[in-house]
Amino acid sequence: MPASAEARARMVERQLARRGIVDPAVLAAMREVPREEFVPAGQREFAYEDTPLSIEAGQTISQPYIVARMIEAAGLAAGDRVLEVGAGSGYAAAVMSRIAAQVHAIERHEELTSLARERLRRLGYGNVTLRTGDGTLGWADAAPFDAILSAAAGPAIPQALKEQLDIGGRLVMPVGSQRNQRLVKVTRRDARHFEEEDLGGVLFVPLIGEQGWKTDERGTKGATAAPERAVPKLIAAAAEPLPDPEDPGFGAAFDRFAEARVVLLGEASHGTSEFYRARAAITRRLIERHGFSIIALEADWPDAASLDRHVRHKPPAGDTERPFARFPTWMWRNAEVEAFTTWLRGWNAACPPEARAGIYGLDLYSLSASIRAVLDYLDRVDPEAAAVARERYGCLTPWANEPQAYGRMALSGGYARCETAVVETLTALLGRQLDYGARDGEAFLDATANARLVRDAEAYYRAMYYGSAESWNLRDTHMFETLAAVLEARGPASKAVVWAHNSHIGDASATEMGNGRGQLNIGQLCRGRFGHGAALVGFGTHAGTVACATDWDGPLEIKPVCPSLPESFERLAHDSGAARFLLDLGDGGSEVRERLLAPRLERFIGVIYRPETERWSHYVECSLPRQFDAWVWFDETRAVTPLPTRRTEGPAETWPSGL
């Protein structure tokens, strides 16, 4: 089987069938049509990723799952005549052509119409007819249609499209404001009656035309929005200038979040000095003035525990393994983090032990270290329980240093028993909380956190082979539950600061991640648990340098950051002319907030940075004010300063995610 056919088969199984797409005709069509032929050459390597992709004319090709979901909802059958509004690259029309008798597709951009027509001709999809025009008016000459699908969102369903449905015909399209859309299915019951069904929340580009939005600016129905150039001026007027992060005034600007239970501080990359120094300054202020005592990192629990012992003046652990010695070493082993931990150790020296601020890891990749930590703890407090745990963990032991191999093997039923074993170990540990916790509450917290990590890591590495959304959700749910456990252990008055990537701390439901890919994250979960007691602060930059790698487990590189794209939030901030500022997004009535609500591109650089594919691999559509409560801007930034380290050999436990 050719590689592209294998990729399509995996996509259909993991992204479609396992998410509930059951129509055999839809699955067969998605398995047949080569998506890589409908995207620009530079994006073909991403053709079967679980994500939308950019195409020509500044437009996008929808996520495979969304294409399949809409076609299945429309109930296409052999012999149907179909109208597609927003043909784009021609991919969805090609998929529908494998099911229906005839597909008519309208596209607003002549460039896309020409490209799609040529692709479809070359690939032999002869039952698709395309034209350039206003999709909101439909295609009256070819009506009536058995099904109509729109790949763009309108403020309401255009009357012209409803009238062009045959009796019994189905129309599927996103409807609503530019920031709050629902996928709607309309069925025509007779000449005058239509039945509507809500299929759930989505996020699509606007449907422009006579019976849709009036301009390409994603504003209010019927109104011509203010010119794009006005938005940077609004940002400049609303932005609060910030001094250098080392200036005490920098942290003081964040006193507004003093009453929050959790303050989540993001970063737009894992290798930018200003983001680390800014988080350090904000955290210092929250600790010194407002009683915060928990610093929770997007880092593995055992590694962060080494920092915690250092800053809280506790004796080192018995093992000799250095923390943060695996790829990407620079993410936490850098001069900026070292400066913060040096300050924190000094601050804690003047505090009683019970009041000292601690550092905790939220991530779940340290499988082998966490197994060892649980067993070491039980060896000390309950040797008999340690023997039982050792037996249970024996299932995972052969894979502890290569967990991705376990994930592959776990696809067969022979390794399912590991799930039960790790759950039983955690359950048994929690069942002895009164006994173990009474002896040493800190040690018990450490042991249960590691046992929880082993349980969730086992599930994560299995889920990794079933689709990115499931594994991502397991990871972020684990991080949230670990944070909640630390807050509970530190007492009802405890308050935490979280350091993690923007993709984790910004509310995923306001992004393409949540609306298009079904992903959630810590920020979304914290808002659900703590409401206004969670403050989500994002960070951004226009250009500069960044510490990163080109490939996973590759060498550290210092790369220039490309100037932000014209259609991005970052470019609006850059065009404001302000070098460094805080933008409070919490004022529901502010004009700048209203103008930034419409989804547009936002940049995400993780451990991996590939400038040559930046638009497709590092930008995601988001609604900034719904994603964050505030945004911190540094127009030009520089890379973190890595500390010398000796790399630990063996597979990276943070494989395969780049964030």
Q: What is the pLDDT of residue 653?
A: 39
Closest CA to 206 of 188, 219, 195: 219
Closest CA to 58 of 7, 111, 95: 111
Give per-residue pLDDT as tens, 83-117: 999 999 999 999 999 999 999 999 999 999 999 99
In this prediction, residue 432 has a pLDDT band, given cuts at 50, 70 and 90, of confident
Q: What is the pLDDT of residue 73?
A: 96
Exposure of 400 in the CB half-sphere (CA atoms within 13 A) = 18
Say yes or no to pLDDT of 219 above 60: no
Q: What is the pLDDT of residue 396?
A: 58
Amino acid at 555: P
Least confident of 263-267, 309-313, 326-330, 425-429: 425-429
Q: What is the pLDDT of residue 518?
A: 79
Give per-residue pLDDT as tens, 374-402: 777 777 877 877 787 676 666 555 555 55
Q: What is the pLDDT of residue 540?
A: 97
Least confident of 275-279, 513-517, 551-555: 513-517
Give per-residue pLDDT as tens, 505-537: 999 988 888 877 778 999 999 999 999 999 999
In this prediction, residue 615 has a pLDDT band, given cuts at 50, 70 and 90, of confident
**Cα angle 507-508-510, degrees, rounded to a multiple of 5:** 80
CA separation for the pair 188, 74 (Å, rounded): 12
Across the chain, what does the average pLDDT equal? Answer: 85
In this prediction, residue 319 has a pLDDT band, given cuts at 50, 70 and 90, of low
The DSSP code sequence of 412-423 is: SGGGTHHHHHHH
Confidence (pTM): 0.66
In this prediction, residue 173 has a pLDDT band, given cuts at 50, 70 and 90, of very high
DSSP SS3 for 409: helix
Count Cβ atoms within 10 A of the Cβ of residue 191 and give its class: 0-12 exposed, 13-18 middle, 19 or more buried. Answer: exposed
In this prediction, residue 588 has a pLDDT band, given cuts at 50, 70 and 90, of low
Closest CA to 603 of 505, 506, 502, 515: 502
Q: What is the pLDDT of residue 655?
A: 31
CA separation for the pair 409, 656 (Å, rounded): 16
Say yes or no to pLDDT of 144 above 80: yes
| Residue the block writes with tokens 């597609």 | 84
CA separation for the pair 228, 343 (Å, rounded): 44
Task: Find the mean pLDDT for residues 301-327.
Answer: 83
In this prediction, residue 239 has a pLDDT band, given cuts at 50, 70 and 90, of very high
Least confident of 18-32, 159-173, 216-230, 367-381: 216-230
More confident residue, 407 or 532: 532
DSSP SS3 for 560: strand
Domains for the chain: give ranges and CATH numbers: 66-202 (3.40.50.150), 236-292+313-318+325-356+495-643 (3.40.1660.10), 365-490 (1.20.1440)
CA separation for the pair 113, 100 (Å, rounded): 20
Q: What is the pLDDT of residue 397?
A: 56
Residue numbers annotated as active site = 62
Q: What is the pLDDT of residue 380?
A: 80
**Cα angle 551-321-455, degrees, rounded to a multiple of 5:** 75
In this prediction, residue 649 has a pLDDT band, given cuts at 50, 70 and 90, of very low
Say yes or no to pLDDT of 487 above 70: yes
Q: Strand 534-548 vs strand 262-265: parallel, antiparallel, or unpaired?
A: parallel
SS (H, E, C) 307-369: HHHHHCCCCCCCCCCCCCCCCCHHHCCEHHHHHHHHHHHHHHHCCCHHHCCEEEEEECCCHHH
Contacts of 513 (CB under 8 A, 6+ apart): 503, 519, 521, 620
Q: Check whether the bond before 328 is cis (ω within 30° of 0).
A: yes
Q: What is the pLDDT of residue 398?
A: 54
Least confident of 63-67, 256-260, 557-561, 651-655: 651-655
Least confident of 14-23, 190-199, 213-222, 534-543: 213-222
Contacts of 594 (CB under 8 A, 6+ apart): none
Q: What is the pLDDT of residue 1?
A: 53
Q: What is the pLDDT of residue 2?
A: 64
Q: What is the pLDDT of residue 401?
A: 55
More confident residue, 294 or 429: 294
Task: Find the mean pLDDT for residues 444-459.
Answer: 75
Task: Find the mean pLDDT for residues 218-236.
Answer: 59
Q: What is the pLDDT of residue 326?
A: 78
Contacts of 235 (CB under 8 A, 6+ apart): 572, 573, 576, 578, 583, 592
The DSSP code sequence of 290-306 is: H---EEEEEEEHHHHHH
Other beta carbons less than 10 A from residue 313's beta carbon: 12
> What are the start-end ranges of the E strands in 495-575?
496-499, 534-548, 557-561
Q: What is the pLDDT of residue 224?
A: 33
Give per-residue pLDDT as tens, 331-364: 999 999 999 999 999 999 999 999 999 999 998 7
Which helix (H) or strand (E) covers residue 439, if one does?
Answer: helix 433-439
Alpha-carbon dihedral 572, 576, 582, 587, rounded to 10 degrees: -70
Q: How is the chain split among helix, strand and coil, in percent rounded to 5?
A: 45, 20, 35
Q: What is the pLDDT of residue 463?
A: 62
Say yes or no to pLDDT of 228 above 90: no
